[in-house]
Amino acid sequence: MASITAVARLVHINPSSKLNPSLVSATKPLFTFFSLKSSYSPIVSSSAASLTSSRAMSYDKQLIAAKKAASLASLLCQNVQKGLLQSDVQSKSDKSPVTVADYGSQVLVSFVLQQELPSQAFSLVAEEDSGDLRKEDSQETLQRITKLVNDTIASDGSYKVSPLSESDVLTIIDCGTSEGGSNGQHWVLDPIDGTKGFLRGDQYAIALGLLDEGKVVLGVLACPNLPLESINNKNQNALTKSSSGCLFYAQLSCGTYMESLSGSPPVKVHVSDTENPEEASFFESYEAAHSSHSLSGSIANKLGVKAPPVRIDSQAKYGALSRGDGAIYLRFPNKGYREKIWDHAAGYIVVAEAGGVASDASGKPLDFSKGRYLDLDTGIIVTNRKLMPAVLKAVQDSLKEQALPSL
């Protein structure tokens, strides 16, 4: 058995990392996601199961580690969601709900990545820090997080280490305070994207990406409540069916694959190839406070969209778009909100490697090299290459009409 000292030595904080409580914003983003009316017919690739053995890929080891980390974090999250307690909800300084699963997920991802890639320098840009958990009134929450993490590691059986202490857990959480940037490799993590969806028992995602010299080169989206079936507006019942969940993953120049979290054969996926906006219907956030329904309605009208929306939370929308459920995803933050890279890095490459394209509202590519924030003009557009010109024009016209910050 490895000692706690050995575990603590493994979990080190990047010297350039620092805590910055001001990174948490009280302002909520607005986002909309459009989907196709057509059914999803994935292409099954016989070579997908031997992806890493058939070709020598630059990021194969990192991809294996990332899939392991996201899957183990999903297991913890699923267990917590089954038995949510009121004490599991911790209120951050921005008043948004944070669960023990949020912190526990971040601990597990950081722990697994460092265990699986011990010879590589470790830098993690993640959503959570330990500030709130170090307060005296958070000791019960910290104890529960520590127990959940240790139980999950023990149930997996891959790591022969002594149980982590509460101090170890706090230290591992603070491994996520890297600033990222354009030099070297940096993991980017949202431990639970879609916290409100998680609390409702609906959609959420564990979103893990890897930056290399400021470029997203790898991404994994674990979506524990997303069915393998299409969730377009003709199949909304799929959202209520029991499912083992979806795992989407992509690495640079290798395509995007989907499998179940329980381990079904991988399926290669591709975005919709529609070029007719009238064939698209739109998805938007479940939470009305997160989505400008008037703006999405204006854009839909300009594109000729007539189908009603399907509403789901989190970067699960990126996964759904990558497999052809959807055609367009729009996100527009409230005034003063700054987009964080962990809200998009994993989803971005999952869609890009599936043939999609992403830009800000002026048509500029997303830039993940500037640190913890995206430097954007107004909002984010994700779609296929054929639709981008029409969608971009509709977005710009609608923004001008609604007197939002324009181009």
Catalytic sites, residue numbers = 102, 195
Strand partners, 193: 205
Joined tokens for residue 4: 């706690």
Q: What secondary structure letter does DSSP report for 133?
A: G
By three-state DSSP, how is residue 176 classified?
Answer: helix
Q: Which residues contact 83 (CB under 8 A, 6 or more apart)?
A: none
**What phi and psi values does residue 238 have, to the nearest 5 degrees?**
-60, -30
Token readout for 290 is 């997160």
Per-position b or e across 280-304, b if 16+ CB within 10 A of its CB: bbbbbbbbeebbbeebbbbbbebbe
What distance in Å separates the CA atoms of residue 280 and residue 272, rounded to the nearest whole number?
Answer: 10
CA dihedral 390, 392, 393, 395 (to 10 degrees): 120
343 in a known ligand binding site: yes
Contact (Cβ atoms closer than 8 angstroms) between residue 164 and residue 1: no
Element of type H or E holding 330: strand 326-333
Q: Is residue 212 marked as binding?
A: no
Neighbours of 117 (CB within 10 A): 16
Label residue 304 left, alpha or beta by phi (over 0 means left) and psi (-120 to 50 means alpha): left
Q: How far apart are CA 30 and CA 28, in angstroms?
A: 7
Cα of first residue to Cα of last residue in the chain, in angstroms, is 59
Annotated binding-site residue? 381? no
CA gap 2, 161 in Å, rounded: 5
Q: Are 70 and 222 in contact (CB under 8 A)?
A: yes
Nearest 5°: the CA angle 140, 94, 168 is: 40
- Flag whether 192 is marked binding: yes
Is residue 127 a known part of a binding site? Answer: yes
Task: Determine the Cα–Cα distance for residues 399 and 288; give it in Å rounded to an integer.
Answer: 19
Q: How far apart are CA 398 and CA 407, in angstroms?
A: 11
Compute CA 261 distance to the chain's CA centroid, rounded to the nearest angstrom.
15
Amino acid at 344: H
User: From the annotation, which residues make up the binding site?
Assistant: 127, 190, 192-193, 343
**Residues of the binding site for Mg(2+):** 127, 190, 192-193, 343
